[in-house]
Amino acid sequence: MSISTRRARERANTQERIIEAALHVLETEGAAALTIRRIANDVEYSAPVVYQHFANKDALILELVAHGHRLMLTQVLQASQEADVDRRMRCLASEYVRFAGEHPHLYQVMNDPTVDADERRRVAEPAIDALKELLTTWSAAHDVVLADLDEACETLWGTLYGIASLGHLSNVGNDRARRLAEQALHAILLGWRTDASEKRQQAPGSAM
Amino acid sequence: MSISTRRARERANTQERIIEAALHVLETEGAAALTIRRIANDVEYSAPVVYQHFANKDALILELVAHGHRLMLTQVLQASQEADVDRRMRCLASEYVRFAGEHPHLYQVMNDPTVDADERRRVAEPAIDALKELLTTWSAAHDVVLADLDEACETLWGTLYGIASLGHLSNVGNDRARRLAEQALHAILLGWRTDASEKRQQAPGSAM
DNA sequence: CTCCAGTTTCTAACGCCGTTAGATTTCCTA
DNA sequence: TAGGAAATCTAACGGCGTTAGAAACTGGAG
pLDDT tens digits, residue range B44-91?
Answer: 999 999 999 999 999 999 999 999 999 999 999 999 999 999 999 999
Task: Give the integer Cα–Cα distance in Å for B127 and B69.
Answer: 7
Give the residue ranges of chain A where pLDDT is below 70: 1-4, 169-170, 199-200, 202-208
Nearest nucleic acid nucleotide to B11, CA to C1' distance: C8
> SS3 for A208?
coil
Task: Give the integer Cα–Cα distance in Å for A12 and B206.
Answer: 58
Q: What average pLDDT is seen over chain B?
A: 91
Number of Cβ within a 10 Å radius of residue A175: 13
Q: How far is A115 from chain B (nearest CA, A)?
A: 10
pLDDT at position B206: 42
Task: Give the integer Cα–Cα distance in Å for A196 and A189.
Answer: 11
pLDDT at position A3: 60
Task: Give the integer Cα–Cα distance in Å for A122 and B88.
Answer: 36
A183 CB below 7 A from strand C atoms: no
For residue A105, give Cα distances in angstroms to A27, A113, B132.
Answer: 6, 14, 30
For residue B27, give Cα distances in angstroms to A202, B21, B30, B60, B149.
Answer: 48, 10, 6, 15, 34
pLDDT at position B194: 79
Q: Give the list of residues 6+ apart from residue A194 with CB closer than 8 angstroms, or none.
A: B190, B191, B194
pLDDT at position B9: 84
pLDDT at position B195: 75
Q: What is the pLDDT of residues B105-139, one digit of tens each?
A: 999 999 999 999 999 999 999 999 999 999 999 99
Number of Cβ within a 10 Å radius of residue A166: 25
**pLDDT-based confidence at residue B185 (cuts at 50, 70, 90):** very high
Q: Is the pLDDT of residue B4 over 90?
A: no
**Cβ burial, residue B205 (10 Å; 0-12/13-18/19+):** exposed
**What is the Rg, in whole angstroms, of the alpha carbon atoms belonging to chain A?**
21
Q: Give the list of residues 6+ apart from residue A80 with CB closer than 8 angstroms, or none.
A: A88, A91, A92, A94, A95
Q: What is the pLDDT of residues A12-25, one digit of tens each?
A: 899 999 999 999 99
**pLDDT-based confidence at residue B203 (cuts at 50, 70, 90):** low
Q: Which residues of A touch B (CB under 8 A)?
A: 31-32, 108, 111, 113-114, 117, 120-121, 151, 154-155, 157-166, 168-172, 176, 179-180, 183-184, 186-192, 194-195, 208
**Cβ burial, residue A26 (10 Å; 0-12/13-18/19+):** buried
**pLDDT-based confidence at residue B7 (cuts at 50, 70, 90):** confident
Q: What is the pLDDT of residues A153-169, one digit of tens each?
A: 999 999 999 999 987 76
A64-199: CATH topology:
Tetracycline Repressor; domain 2 (1.10.357)
User: What are the sequence ranges of the domains in chain A?
Assistant: 1-54, 64-199
Q: Which CATH superfamily is domain B1-54 in?
A: Homeodomain-like (1.10.10.60)
Q: Is the pLDDT of residue B41 over 90?
A: yes
pLDDT at position B198: 76
Task: Give the integer Cα–Cα distance in Å for A162 and B162.
Answer: 4
Average of pLDDT values for B179-187? 93
Name the strand (E) or helix (H) holding A48: none
pLDDT at position A10: 83
Buried residues in A58-94 as b, exposed as e (16+ CB within 10 A): eebbbbbbbbbbeebbebbeeebeeeebeebbbbbbb
Q: Which residues of B touch A (CB under 8 A)?
A: 31-32, 108, 111, 113-114, 117, 120-121, 151, 154-155, 157-163, 165-166, 168-172, 176, 179-180, 183-184, 186-192, 194-195, 208
pLDDT at position A207: 40
Q: Is the pLDDT of residue B156 over 60?
A: yes
Task: Give the integer Cα–Cα distance in Å for A39 and B34.
Answer: 27
**pLDDT-based confidence at residue B23 (cuts at 50, 70, 90):** very high
**pLDDT-based confidence at residue B11 (cuts at 50, 70, 90):** confident
pLDDT at position B117: 94
pLDDT: which is higher, B77 or B168: B77
Q: How far is A169 from chain B (nearest CA, A)?
A: 6
Q: Same CATH topology for A1-54 and A64-199?
A: no
Q: Which residue of A has its CA nearest to B163?
A: A158
State which of B14-23, B144-153, B164-173 shows the largest mean pLDDT.
B14-23
